[in-house]
Structure 1
Amino acid sequence: MGAISLRQVRKSYGALQVIHDVDIDIESGEFIVLVGPSGCGKSTLLRMIAGLEDISGGELLMSGKVVNALPPSERDIAMVFQDYALYPHMSVRENMAFGLKMRGADDRTIEDSVARAADILKIGSFLDRRPAQLSGGQRQRVAMGRAIVREPSAFLFDEPLSNLDAALRVEMRLEIAKLHGRMKATTVYVTHDQVEAMTLADRIVVMNGGVVEQIGKPLDLYHRPASLFVARFIGSPTMNTLAATLETIEGGTRVRFIDGREFTIPGLPAVAPENRDRHVVFGVRPSDLVPVAGPERAWFFGKVAVAERLGSQTFGYVEIADGAMISVEFARDMEISVGQPVHLAGTADVVHLFDAKSGKRIN
């Protein structure tokens, strides 16, 4: 399966530049997920790879060949869209076979390819139905089957699960993961859902305003976000972030929040001279905060404002000084109640520090 490389790729609509100098190397057989909020440019970038959008600058390479000017039909890719895009007057079998017929494949090849794809996706029992007779999940399987029969060098998915209900999203996510495990095809997948990104991707590309914020394995992005944007986007509930200044003292680093609260974290690396008295954003994930016995060791003190008991997890939203709210993942069997006072702390190795102006990681 072909590798895909983007070299300083840009996209502009007149004077408005929406994709800014994107560099990504996608290895053969790799599953890459483009993730970010609405309007970040992820779907535009996918359409540029597909040939559905012109490239304003830079180079797009497939299997080592520059394909900027190559039409979609000659790029050896198959795309699965959000809205299924099935022909309503055709049966499932005819929908899946259509692309091969347009390419002039013989009847035996078409029959074998459709049967093989139907077997992979478990849709053989409704090959003679029309799309209107199928559920949303079944229609999406048919759309995937239509892509599979072509045996392309790469699959492109544009938010394929966003029209499905929660249960079907989980089911189809597993189907896509199993499909990739079986076919080992190069895959580029667009979603705004970080759960899909974290569970499907070999690597994730986090985009923001047409810029790539970070590329990495899912857990690398979670444990070591390169920017404040990535820290807040990856993880649910989101990372707790508060403005602070740092000072190196004997025994550790003193963290001072803008409301005057301060505490020392033993073991936190000394602050470089250029960073002393620097305004930073102090970050800590909800799962890395734990209750402590009293104020001596506490980083935060407050009262539980909201408690969410989800069975396997228990989250609390704690109101601290000046009405600020932080989220905490408690032990799932811990009894917490609204109004309950709690002292919370972590350890040096769970602290994330970001520059207040640039948003870039500094520790």
Structure 2
Amino acid sequence: MTAIALRQIRKTYGSLEVIHDVDIDIASGEFLVLVGPSGCGKSTLLRMIAGLEEISGGVLDIGGKVVNALPPSERDIAMVFQDYALYPHMSVRENMAFGLKMRGTAEETIDRRVSHAAGILKIEPFLDRRPAQLSGGQRQRVAMGRAIVREPSAFLFDEPLSNLDAALRVEMRLEIAKLHNRMKATTVYVTHDQVEAMTLADRIVVLNAGRIEQIGAPLDLYHRPASLFVARFIGSPTMNTMTVELMSHGNEKALSFKDRTLPLAGAGTARIAPGAVTLGIRPEDLTACPQEEAWFSGDLAVAERLGSQTYGYVEIGEARMLTVEFPRDTPIRVGDPIHVRPNTDAIHLFEKASGLRIN
């Protein structure tokens, strides 16, 4: 069942169009993440769902009802902001109860909902404190609690973890995931952090300059990016990309790179004319090999040891750097010669002009 439907949604500021004909169906209970670089329109899109930005064109349907003209208070959604937006002069309990009081909710119902939300978020000891007496993570829990007590049909999160330090972001990410698993509420979540997107989402919407580049499950986007933009944006470290030559051998196609030729099979390549294409290969799909078997050779410029894995950044000439994932205890040092070859089954090919996937 669709909980929220966006149909040809557009947003313009005068003559400037910043959201272009966006179509998304969000299922009931789904955790959908909007992700993309700064300025791509993800927060604007979320604010249009919330009713905080006017919709310039298209139809927004929430729970089977067109809500384009409805104010935020009548859309049955709750939003958690990046800056918490807590009232500093109120206690945690009062912050969580304020919206319900404004709606005229019975005191008994307010107490029950606040106690329930505080229990879920483990903030009972802080109910009588004010926001200034709380840590960043505790304040974010209060902001989430204020949304939970409303018992909305959908939750909207606008980069809620961006103000937290790295350790707290991980902790709160787990809390949000557990909260969703427990409540099964429809959730739309905006972030520029692809790790948050990959770990939280049922589906990810990748936005680029106000347009949808791709929608899919996290691992589908990782393994089958529809465009060069998605390939470079999803994955950390980013995918290695380079220009190679696509050649025809009768009815067959082959890749040519330096003195290497790789026959290609599979749908999609037959329609592409011979010429330059972009090859993509992820760091974990490169393997160390003898020099005579190598596709890429160079000297190690930087070794990044992260504990669970090691990344090597290899200078391969023409001021280009190749990222290679090594087993975590590989004894590599800066200046070492590195020779690698790709797993040819994991090669991604993109049209040079459009950036669209072709294999």
Q: For this structure pair, what is the TM-score category when the shorter chain's length is used for normalisation?
A: over 0.9
- Following superposition, the deviation at residue 313 of structure 1 comes to 0.7
Q: Distance in 1 between matches of 2:286 and 2:176?
A: 35
Where structure 1 has 5 or more consecutive residues not aligned to the other structure, the ranges are: none
| Unaligned stretches of 5+ residues in structure 2 | none
Cα deviation 1:147-202 (Å, max 9, x = unaligned) = 00000000000000000000000000000000000000000000000000000000
Aligned partners of 1:48 and 1:54 also within 8 Å: yes
The residue type equivalent to 1:332 in the other structure is R
Aligned match of 2:351 in 347, 350, 355? 355
Q: Give 1:323 shift.
A: 2.2
1:177-196 matched pairs, under 5 angstroms? 177-196=177-196
TM score, norm. by length of structure 2: 0.97
Select between 274-283 and 305-314 the one with higher mean Cα deviation: 274-283
C-alpha spacing 1:272/1:87, structure 2 compared with 1 (3 Å): closer
1:322 Cα deviation from its structure 2 partner: 1.5
Q: For residue 243 of structure 1, report the CA deviation from its aligned partner.
A: 1.2
Aligned to 1:323: 319
The CA deviation at 1:334 is 1.0
CA contact (8 A) 2:312 2:326 kept: yes
Superposed, 1:80-229 pairs within 5 Å as: 80-229=80-229
- Partner Cα distance (1:244, 1:167) in 2: 41
More divergent stretch after superposition (266-275 vs 342-351): 266-275
Q: Does the aligned pair in 2 maintain the 1:253–1:270 contact within 8 Å? A: no
The alignment partner of 2:318 has SS state of: helix
- Secondary structure of the 1:323 match is coil
Q: How far apart are the structure 1 equivalents of 2:230 and 2:277?
A: 16
1:346 equivalent in alignment to 2:342: yes
Among candidates 260, 264, 270, match of residue 263 of structure 1: 260
Partners of 2:56 and 2:101 in 1: CA distance? 33
Deviation at 1:268, TM superposition (A): 4.8
Write the letter of the residue equivalent to 1:239. Answer: M
Partner secondary structure for residue 321 of structure 1: coil
Q: Does the CA contact (< 8 Å) of 1:88 and 1:132 recur in 2?
A: yes
Are 1:242 and 2:221 matched, yes or no?
no
- C-alpha change, 1:2 and 1:136, in structure 2 (3 Å) is farther
- Equivalents in 1 of 2:99, 2:240: separation in Å? 49
| More moved, 77-86 vs 321-330 | 321-330
- My pick for the range that moved more, 343-352 or 140-149, is 343-352
Q: Which residue of 1 aligns with 2:291?
A: 294
Instruction: Name the amino acid aligned to 1:177.
Output: A
Matched with 1:35 is 35
Instruction: Please give the root-mean-square deviation of Cα atoms over the aligned residues, in Å.
Output: 1.7
1:230 is matched by which residue type in structure 2? V
Structure 1 position 321, deviation (Å):
2.6
Aligned-pair CA distance for 1:253 = 5.4
2:66 maps to what in 1? 66
CA distance in 2, matches of 1:350, 1:249: 22
Q: Write the distance in 1 (CA, Å) between the matches of 2:306 and 2:198.
A: 20
Counterpart residue number, 1:51: 51
Distance 1:268 1:131 in 2: 61
Deviation for aligned residue 1:293: 1.7
Deviation at 1:277, TM superposition (A): 2.1
1:15 counterpart = 2:12: no
Aligned-partner Cα distance in 1 for 2:255–2:317: 15
Report if aligned partners of 1:247, 1:271 keep a CA contact under 8 Å in 2: no
Structure 1 residue matching 2:237: 3-state secondary structure: coil
Q: Residue 281 of structure 1 contacts residue 353 of structure 1 at CA under 8 Å; is this kept in 2?
A: yes
Matching residue's letter, 1:205: V
Percent identity (aligned): 73
Contact 2:50 2:156 in 1 (8 A): yes
The Cα of 1:340 is off from its aligned counterpart by 1.0
Q: How many residues align?
A: 359
* TM-score normalized by the length of structure 1: 0.96
Which amino acid is the alignment partner of residue 190 of structure 1? V
- Which range moved further: 5-14 or 342-351? 342-351
- Work out the CA distance in 1 between the residues paired with 2:92 and 2:268: 63
